[in-house]
């Protein structure tokens, strides 16, 4: 136990008898010290979590709505009894109507933010609000019956059930399941997967893309023994085969249409997003995307791509889209090759203004400076689309090589290199004229639409041996025509 400051900061008392509060993490205060502390109307009580308190850990819920939603989800996935046991041992209401649950466990960790949402920070700047977090080793919690100036609201912490003498003990597995469930309440932007792909941005020629659109998650997971447990909004909770309680994964979290697995006892990488096609390939074809694509094509998914030699017109006379052409050619596995992929797939939506050093994106009506970081999202999509190239490769070695390159291309460093290379491609990405330069050159005052730009691909190597020569690849992805002539 260690007292908090009574100035509304919710921080541990900085010094006590000449010692900082860090000393309290090494050994508990004596009864004599505690009695002397509270002899002068002190209103605040705090606990130091971790080893000094017999591996005490706390679950801190910021508000009542989050806590009630978590409790409902726990009951639905088979963790209701575990949470009820913890609540009976120690449950309190915070001044903001949040909840603290305390428990002991053989395995704990440091303070961990499990679920957050974007919020407003100091001086009105964008910030992050914690919804659910743990207070573990090195953590500090203000507890009941603290009140008065301890909290900025002046309201008290109130014990609702149990007490310090009845705190429950949970197993490491029970703790792991509860914390995994809490992570599904995170509302921060998804980092590990493309969540904005629309039907217009996918190639109908690829069986994997069509499978992603047409198949349901039940059709993918249930044949492999996964069980649907519960739905919270658009998010479905699943349990892996061989497990008796708790959830193992979610699908469509934040309407992403992706599988996120948080169990480490599956064939999936925990915390990474998987499309239906990727999950299908891993579950039923050992991760061989080429074999999976072939089986789906046999089952009627996807169309047959025209040969690159057929030119920009397909055999039936329909024009190939920019993305169809890009998917039918071979590009080098380099930063420059990734930039060429970006321009070939999304060049009609992007312009780089060399004078100002800014990217511009097409809003549907005009070119706008990319303040919303759409360029970063398109760069991430470009990297993810390399997995589709791997799925369509003819040889196992080609699939493996493209798969390794796709994974490497997802790194922050490779993403920055992709964007930097795309800036300097000529004539792929053109400066955006200002109204003044338009008037001086006799151009129309309004911005042209993406349709005013023709896209073509030329001098593309067709054999794997040529992939090591990036200089042999020339892409005219955004040739000038129409209003820009």
pLDDT digits (tens, 9 = 90+) for 136-170: 999 999 999 999 898 989 999 999 999 999 999 99
Q: Which of the residue ranges 35-39, 188-192, 273-277, 420-424 has the most confident prediction, judged by mean pLDDT? A: 273-277
In a domain? residue 10: no
CATH code: domain of residue 164: 3.30.2250
Total domains in the fold of the chain = 3
pLDDT digits (tens, 9 = 90+) for 73-118: 999 999 999 999 999 999 999 999 999 999 999 999 999 999 998 8
In a domain? residue 478: yes
Name 436's Cβ contacts closer than 8 Å, sequence gap at least 6: none
In a domain? residue 267: yes
- In the structure encoding, which two tokens stand for residue 91, read together? 């449950």
Which residue range(s) make up the domain with 84?
Answer: 15-183
238 vs 334, higher pLDDT: 238
| Closest of 442, 445, 476, 440 to residue 458, by C-alpha | 476
Which of 298, 323, 355 is the last residue before a domain boundary?
298
- In the structure encoding, which two tokens stand for residue 480, read together? 């000038």
Look at 15-29, 287-301, 437-451 and tell me which has the smallest mean pLDDT: 437-451
Cβ neighbours around 10 below 10 Å, total: 17
In a domain? residue 189: no
pLDDT digits (tens, 9 = 90+) for 449-470: 443 332 322 222 333 333 333 2
In a domain? residue 303: no
Query: Same domain for 422 and 334?
Result: yes
pLDDT above 60 (res 441): no
Q: What is the pLDDT of residue 471?
A: 28
Query: Same domain for 51 and 28?
Result: yes
Cβ neighbours around 473 below 10 Å, total: 21
Query: Same domain for 159 and 214?
Result: no
Return the percentage of the chain with pLDDT > 90, whole number.
36
Q: What is the pLDDT of residue 250?
A: 95
Query: Same domain for 289 and 349?
Result: no
432 vs 381, higher pLDDT: 381
Query: Same domain for 260 and 342?
Result: no
Which of 133, 151, 183 is the last residue before a domain boundary?
183
Distance CA 367, CA 189 (A): 25
Query: Same domain for 273 and 321?
Result: no
CATH code: domain of residue 233: 3.90.580
Q: What is the pLDDT of residue 263?
A: 79
Query: Same domain for 351 and 215?
Result: no
Look at 19-23, 51-55, 243-247 and tell me which has the smallest mean pLDDT: 19-23
Q: What is the pTM (predicted TM-score) of this model?
A: 0.60
Q: In whole numbers, what is the pLDDT of the chain averaged over residues?
A: 77
In a domain? residue 390: yes
Which of 264, 298, 332 is the last residue before a domain boundary?
298
């Amino acid at each position: 136990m260690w007292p908090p400051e009574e100035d509304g900061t919710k921080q541990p008392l900085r010094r006590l008898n000449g010692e900082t509060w860090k000393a309290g993490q090494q050994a508990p205060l004596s009864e004599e010290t505690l009695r002397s502390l509270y002899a002068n109307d002190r209103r605040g009580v705090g606990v130091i979590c971790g080893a000094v308190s017999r591996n005490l850990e706390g679950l801190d819920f910021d508000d009542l709505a989050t806590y009630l939603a978590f409790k409902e989800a726990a009951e639905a996935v088979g963790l209701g009894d575990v949470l009820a046991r913890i609540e009976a041992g120690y449950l309190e209401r915070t001044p903001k109507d949040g909840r603290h649950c305390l428990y002991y466990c053989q395995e704990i960790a440091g303070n961990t933010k499990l679920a957050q949402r974007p919020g407003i920070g100091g001086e009105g700047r964008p910030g992050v609000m914690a919804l659910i977090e743990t207070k573990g080793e090195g953590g500090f919690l203000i507890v009941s019956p603290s009140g008065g100036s301890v909290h900025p609201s002046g309201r008290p912490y109130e014990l609702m059930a149990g007490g310090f003498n009845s705190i429950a003990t949970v197993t490491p597995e029970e703790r792991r399941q509860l914390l995994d469930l809490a992570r599904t309440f995170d509302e921060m932007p998804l980092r590990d997967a493309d969540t904005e792909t629309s039907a217009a941005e996918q190639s109908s020629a690829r069986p994997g893309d069509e499978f992603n659109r047409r198949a349901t998650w039940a059709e993918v997971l249930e044949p492999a023994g996964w069980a649907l447990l519960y739905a919270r909004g658009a998010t479905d909770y699943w349990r892996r085969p061989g497990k008796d309680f708790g959830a193992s994964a979610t699908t469509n979290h934040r309407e992403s249409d992706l599988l996120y697995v948080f169990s480490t006892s599956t064939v999936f990488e925990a915390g990474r997003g998987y499309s239906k096609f990727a999950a299908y390939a891993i579950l039923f074809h050992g991760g061989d995307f080429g074999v999976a694509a072939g089986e789906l094509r046999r089952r009627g998914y996807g169309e047959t791509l025209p040969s690159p030699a057929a030119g920009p017109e397909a055999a039936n006379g329909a024009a190939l889209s920019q993305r169809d052409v890009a998917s039918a050619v071979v590009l080098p596995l380099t930063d420059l090759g990734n930039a060429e992929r970006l321009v070939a797939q999304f060049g009609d939506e992007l312009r780089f203004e060399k004078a100002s050093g800014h990217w511009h994106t097409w809003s549907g009506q005009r070119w706008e400076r990319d303040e919303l970081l759409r360029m970063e999202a398109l760069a991430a999509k470009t990297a993810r689309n390399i997995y589709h190239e791997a799925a369509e490769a003819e040889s196992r070695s080609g699939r493996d090589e493209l798969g390794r390159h796709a994974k490497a291309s997802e790194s922050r460093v490779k993403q920055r290199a992709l964007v930097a290379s795309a800036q300097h491609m000529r004539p792929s990405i053109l400066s955006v004229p200002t109204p003044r330069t338009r008037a001086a050159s006799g151009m129309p005052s309004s911005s042209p639409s993406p349709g005013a730009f023709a896209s073509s691909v030329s001098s593309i190597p067709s054999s794997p041996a040529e992939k090591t020569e990036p200089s042999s690849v020339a892409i005219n992805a955004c040739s000038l025509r129409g209003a820009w002539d």
